[in-house]
Amino acid sequence: MSEYILNLLPLHEGEREEFESIAPEAVHTYARSSTVTSEQLAAATVIFGWPRPERMKEAVSLRWFQTMWAGTDEYVGMLPEGVLFTSSSGSNSRSVAEHMLTGLMAVCRRLPAYLDSQRAHVWKDEGPMKTILGGTVLVVGAGHVGSDFAKLCQGLGARTIGLKRTVSGPVAGFDQVCPMDQLDALLPQADVVALVLPHSPQTAGLMNAARIARMKDDAILISAGRGTVLDQDALAAAMTAGRLWGAALDVTDPEPLPADSPLWDVPNLLLTPHVAGGMRLEITRRKCVEMAQENLRRYLAGEKLENVVKL
């Protein structure tokens, strides 16, 4: 049976031909998530891209689906039974890591306060600043994004510690890698705590009031995984009471952040609306395309695919 490949990726000139050269015997169809038809979904044996989860029940012939995002939780329970599911984990790691570093440096230099002063036309020295040179950066989630962020921090002279569920050896960017159960012991040592965890029953509420209280009084918190990992009210209360140097959050729970959330008014807290990743950098888009092409080669050759998601 020939494959019917439904490609919903944001392709540029020449990239359709690249896919077709990998699978010349397949039927290739191209669309956008917003325009894909029920007929196309029903015929597809392979799908690349980001179809809306609620429409996946229409993909009755589907054998393999690769989402163009690293996050996969929105598809849990939405795919036909027996479908092989892969992600694009790692495609946007550089983008998110750079955004995290930008937020970290902005908070170290009190740029949120200086921007407020600029808007108010006030010339005011906000006092001492921070550097991560010689400091300890604790990354909770030593995956692709955590690794890239840790490399950037190492380049600025920080010591990096990564936490992950299973430690099987060294991870690029980290001076030390520890299991997740070491979180409470390591929090008091960290000058920066970076959360880059996916949402799951195990991670929801992980960074609670008790753990925020274990952080140094002048530590910085970065969150760029999923907003459910962090107790936002506890963070706002701690910072309003004068604890922590600052925070930079790219993710919240819920999203968009409600207008009455106390986070909006916390001094030296930088908020961005979940824009660290996505397809905002060309290197991310191209990496996503290349990952789909590599997995297509593997799929047709009967080899093990990369980034398989366990449903």
- The yes-or-no answer on residue 255 being catalytic is yes
CA atoms 81, 83, 89, 91: torsion sign: negative
Catalytic residue among 28, 274, 286, 298: 274
Q: Each residue's pLDDT tens digit in the chain (311 positions)?
A: 689 999 999 999 999 999 999 999 999 999 999 999 999 999 999 999 999 999 999 999 999 999 999 989 899 999 999 999 999 999 999 999 999 999 999 999 999 999 999 999 999 999 999 999 999 999 999 999 999 999 999 999 999 999 999 999 999 999 999 999 999 999 999 999 999 999 999 999 999 999 999 999 999 999 999 999 999 999 999 999 999 999 999 999 999 999 999 999 999 999 999 999 999 999 999 999 999 999 999 999 999 999 999 87
Q: Are 78 and 53 in contact (CB under 8 A)?
A: yes
The predicted pLDDT at position 1 comes to 64
Catalytic residue among 17, 39, 255, 294: 255
3-class state of residue 1 by DSSP: coil
Catalytic residue among 94, 110, 226, 285: 226
**For the chain, how are helix, strand and coil distributed in percent, rounded to 5?**
35, 15, 45
Distance CA 183, CA 188 (A): 9
Residue 70: both structure tokens together: 């690293």
- The yes-or-no answer on residue 294 being catalytic is no
The predicted pLDDT at position 71 comes to 86
Based on its alpha-carbon atoms, the radius of gyration of the chain, rounded to whole angstroms, reads 22
Is this model's pTM higher than 0.85 or not?
yes
The predicted pLDDT at position 168 comes to 93
- The yes-or-no answer on residue 274 being catalytic is yes
Scan for tokens 């359709």, then name that residue: 16
Q: Is the peptide bond before 24 cis (omega within 30 degrees of 0)?
A: no
15-34 core/surface letters (b: 16 or more CB in 10 A; e: else) = beeebeebbeebebbbeeee
The predicted pLDDT at position 255 comes to 97
Which residues on adjacent β-strands are paired with residue 269? 247
Q: Measuring CA to CA, which residue among 168, 93, 173 is closest to residue 138?
A: 173
